[in-house]
Copies of this chain bind each other. A is one copy, B any other.
Amino acid sequence: MQTALILQNIQKLIALTEEEKSFFLSLLKYKKIKKRQYLLQADDICRYEYFVLSGCLRSYYVDEKGQEHVVQFAVEDWWIGDMRSFFTQTPAWLNIDALEETEVLMLGKEAINELYQKVPAFERYFRIRIQNAFVAEQQRLAQSYSKTAEKRYLDFRERYPQFEQRLPQVQIASYLGITPEFLSALRAKLAGKR
Contact = CB atoms under 8 A, between A and B. Distances in A.
Contact of A141 (B123, B131, B144, B146): B144
A127 B63 CA distance: 29
A114 to B, nearest CB: 15
Interface SS of chain A: helix
Contacts of A140: 141
B131 A87 contact: yes
B130 A134 contact: yes
Contacts of A141: 71, 137, 140-141, 144
A151 B64 CA distance: 12
A182 interface: no
A141 B144 CA distance: 8
A107 to B, nearest CB: 15
A26 interface: no
Interface size class of A (residues with CB under 8 A): 20 to 34
Contacts of A147: 63
Copies in the complex: 2
A71 B141 CA distance: 9
B138 A71 contact: yes
Among A83, A124, A130, A140, the one with the most B-chain Cβ atoms within 10 Å of its Cβ is A130
A160 interface: no
Contacts of A63: 146-147
A25 to B, nearest CB: 22
A69 interface: yes
Interface in A57-84: 61, 63-65, 67, 69, 71, 83-84
A124 B130 CA distance: 12
Contacts of A138: 71, 83, 137
